[in-house]
């Protein structure tokens, strides 16, 4: 087909130009859309030249609609090119026979595109079914979806990735509203929810190999001299079954009553530091209260071992608050790291100072207590054995059981210092260029869980919540692009004519 290009009656610069394109017949709809865009731009040029003011936001929207139409036509051509119009195909070593050609909708960033493609089912002797039942139908496949790595029923990979990214930032309704304002991804909130969870489920299915590939490909910056590992918990609202009251249920009572309760979710971090102990890149992890915390800790340990394999001279510091459960998990799962290099254990300095501050306010006036805590902080950071001297100073007050309400701050401070005396050598750790605070995991508790999960009226349940947490952890760890490339790559399959 020979297509004559459009030319303007009033050229913007120089003489009018006529363009002739030689393209195949299948490209005619795309050429028509390109011609229409040129006409729109030409008309807008004349309009802007003659008008004193212009609503350019409307111009932007019209151009976006026209370019989206061009994009959709281009996708249609490419999707049809991925089809195999042949009686048989081979997928993963298995032969499939064609049962017909039917139109299907594929969802692009610019909107839905309908193309006709072939449908195949396994041949006799190689039947695959959706379920194990004897009467179940063989699973139909289409070469377009298999070759291009389509997510679910027709969602193109980059479209699905973008929808998942928006959902990990906010609710499905917010994601759909954002997409509408941007003029991209013109889909409903329900579609955002469905597609994002499909991407999250795919990542979870292959998370072990994906995370291993990510950490092995990670290049440690030259300035990094150590890593710190932290673990913490944060409350989040979850949905649980509500016990039924005794007796006959009232009329209209829900068949499966639920309640909104708060449970402790887990967050962990691996943070890279320079020689001054300043934090650089942080890898973030999280799981639901009833999630696989053992798997989370194993993943943290594996990442630390991979970093040590790349640079054996890295120092390793474990930072946590005073919760015995958290230290038990850290001690158990960092055992493999201890076989490679020593692990320094340290109570987060700010948790300790919080305890000491409450004790100081029992013995000193409020104005003096602040100065006393500042003196203790300086001693902890610069003098080895300072914690023992502070404990002796507090014990000399003879106010261990003084109460503030139901609390005994002096007793709590002395107990804290006693139970964790092996994890309070801040001066030595600081001189080694290691951090003394667990700010990275505290920030992760807020950004990973609190900001996204603790919304008014929100309640979460397995397994959907873990998918959102995993996707959000990837985004907050600056691993989104690489992780999605590996995740969605699992969907692509080689398909050949048989």
Above 90 in pLDDT, residue 180?
Answer: yes
- Cα 168 from chain centroid (whole Å): 6
| Angstrom distances, CA of residue 89 to CA of 34, 94, 143, 353 | 35, 8, 8, 68
Check residue 469 and give its pLDDT. Answer: 95
Check residue 396 and give its pLDDT. Answer: 95
pLDDT tens, residue by residue, 63-121: 999 999 999 999 999 999 999 999 999 998 899 999 999 999 999 999 999 999 999 99
Q: Which of 258, 220, 226 is nearest to 239 (CA)?
A: 258
Above 50 in pLDDT, residue 134?
Answer: no
Question: Residue 113 is inside which H or E element, if any?
Answer: strand 111-122
Predicted confidence band at 2 (pLDDT cuts at 50, 70, 90)?
Answer: low
| φ, ψ dihedrals at 210, nearest 5° | -65, -50
Predicted confidence band at 126 (pLDDT cuts at 50, 70, 90)?
Answer: low
Q: Which of 22-26, 150-154, 309-313 has the lowest mean pLDDT?
A: 22-26
Check residue 188 and give its pLDDT. Answer: 96
The model's pTM: 0.89
Check residue 258 and give its pLDDT. Answer: 82
Predicted confidence band at 255 (pLDDT cuts at 50, 70, 90)?
Answer: confident
- Cα 331 from chain centroid (whole Å): 27
**Mean pLDDT, range 287-292, rounded to an integer:** 86
Above 50 in pLDDT, residue 431?
Answer: yes
What is d(CA 189, CA 102) in angstroms, rounded to the nearest whole number?
28
Mean pLDDT of the chain: 90
**Mean pLDDT, range 418-422, rounded to an integer:** 92
Q: Where are the chain's structural domains?
A: 2-81, 88-205+484-497, 207-240+258-348+437-462, 350-431
Cβ-based neighbour number of residue 374 at 10 Å:
12
**Mean pLDDT, range 457-468, rounded to an integer:** 85
| Angstrom distances, CA of residue 321 to CA of 129, 157, 426 | 51, 41, 14
Check residue 13 and give its pLDDT. Answer: 55
Stated length of the chain: 498
- What CATH architecture is 207-240+258-348+437-462? 2-Layer Sandwich (3.30)
What is d(CA 379, CA 82) in angstroms, rounded to the nearest whole number?
69
What is d(CA 73, CA 28) in angstroms, rounded to the nearest whole number?
10
Check residue 428 and give its pLDDT. Answer: 93
Check residue 246 and give its pLDDT. Answer: 75
């Amino acid at each position: 087909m020979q297509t004559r290009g459009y030319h303007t009656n009033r050229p913007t610069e120089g003489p009018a130009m006529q363009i002739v394109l030689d393209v195949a017949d299948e490209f005619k709809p795309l050429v028509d859309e390109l011609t229409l865009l040129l006409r729109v731009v030409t008309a807008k040029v004349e309009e802007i030249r003659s008008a004193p003011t212009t609503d350019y936001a409307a111009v932007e929207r019209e151009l976006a609609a026209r370019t989206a139409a061009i994009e959709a036509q281009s996708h249609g051509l490419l999707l049809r090119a991925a089809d195999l119009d042949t009686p048989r195909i081979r997928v993963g070593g298995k032969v499939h026979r064609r049962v017909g050609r039917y139109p299907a909708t594929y969802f692009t960033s610019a909107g839905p595109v309908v193309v006709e493609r072939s449908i195949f089912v396994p041949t006799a002797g190689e039947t695959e079914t959706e379920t194990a039942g004897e009467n179940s139908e063989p699973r139909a496949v289409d070469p377009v979806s298999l070759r291009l790595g389509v997510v679910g029923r027709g969602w193109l990979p980059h479209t699905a990735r973008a929808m998942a990214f928006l959902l990990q930032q906010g609710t499905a309704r917010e994601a759909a509203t954002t997409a509408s304002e941007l003029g991209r991804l013109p889909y409903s909130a329900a579609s955002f929810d469905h597609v994002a969870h499909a991407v999250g489920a795919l990542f979870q299915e292959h998370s072990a190999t994906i995370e291993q590939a990510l950490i092995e490909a990670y290049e440690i910056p030259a300035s990094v001299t150590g890593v710190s590992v932290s673990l913490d918990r944060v409350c989040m609202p979850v949905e649980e079954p509500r016990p039924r009251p005794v007796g006959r249920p009232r009329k209209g009572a829900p068949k499966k009553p639920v309640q909104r309760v708060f449970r402790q979710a887990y967050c962990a971090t691996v943070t890279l530091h320079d020689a001054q102990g300043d934090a650089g890149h942080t890898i973030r992890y999280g799981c639901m209260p009833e999630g696989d915390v053992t798997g989370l800790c194993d993943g943290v340990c594996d990442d630390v071992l991979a970093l040590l394999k790349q640079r054996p001279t890295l120092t390793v510091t474990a930072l946590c608050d005073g919760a015995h459960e958290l230290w038990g998990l850290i001690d158990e799962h960092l055992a493999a790291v201890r076989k490679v290099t020593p692990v320094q254990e340290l109570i987060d300095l700010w948790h300790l100072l919080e305890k000491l501050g409450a004790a100081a306010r029992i013995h000193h006036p409020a104005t003096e207590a602040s100065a006393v805590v500042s003196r203790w902080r300086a001693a902890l950071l610069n003098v080895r054995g300072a914690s023992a001297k502070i404990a002796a100073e507090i014990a000399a007050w003879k106010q261990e059981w003084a109460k503030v309400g139901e609390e005994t701050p002096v007793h709590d401070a002395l107990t804290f210092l006693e139970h964790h005396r092996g994890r309070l050598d801040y001066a030595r750790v600081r001189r080694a260029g290691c951090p003394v605070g667990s700010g990275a995991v505290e920030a992760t508790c807020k950004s990973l869980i609190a900001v996204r999960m603790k919304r008014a009226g929100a309640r979460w349940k397995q397994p959907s919540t873990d998918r959102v947490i995993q996707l959000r952890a990837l985004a907050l760890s600056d691993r989104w692009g690489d992780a999605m490339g590996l995740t969605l790559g699992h969907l692509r399959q080689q398909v050949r004519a048989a």
